[in-house]
Amino acid sequence: MPDENTKPFPCFVVDTSFMAAYLLSGFCDDEFASCIKDVEYILENNGQFYVPPLFWYEIENVLLQKTRSKKAGQLRLSKSDAMDILYDLQQLPIYTDLLPDGEIRQRIFEFAEEYDLSYYDASYLEMSRRYGLPLKTFDENLRQAVSEMRYE
């Protein structure tokens, strides 16, 4: 029987849109402030974030693109700022899932088809479903898929 003083630690699957909003929150307005509360909740309760391997390529590409941005009104990061953000990211309790086997890749493909998602986005949805964890995202298509899944 579990000790009454123990409780499971919180975990979320997070996608790039969510983590980028958190990491860039100091450089932007408060449009995505809710992610800060979610990250603080995980940190304060010894929780963990779950990501598929492609997350690392996506998030670092976001930062790279922000160092290259030349459009007026868009956030531009210095290389130093990007490196500081990457360092901060590496300090977070992030579990990177193993490379998916054939069965998992097939489920990702099926989710992508069923919910009209990219294969990349469907990998977050599949991981969320497989581990039974909430998916934190600011991507509207993913949010819609999560909502539809709840009612199946």
Q: What is the pLDDT of residue 29?
A: 60
Residue 25 and residue 33 in contact, taking contact as beta carbons nearer than 8 Å? yes
Q: Is residue 37, in this structure, part of any structural domain at all?
A: yes
Which residue, 82, 16, 19, 23, is CA-closest to 55? 16
Q: Bridge partners of 50?
A: 13, 95
Number of domains making up the chain: 1
Q: Select from 31, 1, 2 the least CA-distant residue to 17.
A: 31
Which pLDDT band, with edges at 50, 70 and 90, does 7 fall under? low
- Host domain of residue 57: 11-150
Task: Say how far apart CA 77 and CA 67 lie, in whole Å.
Answer: 5
- Note whether residue 66 is domain-resident: yes
- Is 44 part of any domain? yes
Q: Which amino acid is at 72?
A: A
Angle between helices 16-23 and 79-90 (to 10 degrees): 120
- Residue 4 located in a structural domain: no
- Residue 137 falls within a domain, yes or no? yes
pLDDT for 12 = 94
Q: pLDDT for 16-44, tens place per residue?
A: 999 999 998 866 666 667 888 899 999 99
- CATH code, 87: 3.40.50.1010
The answer to whether position 48 is within a domain reads yes
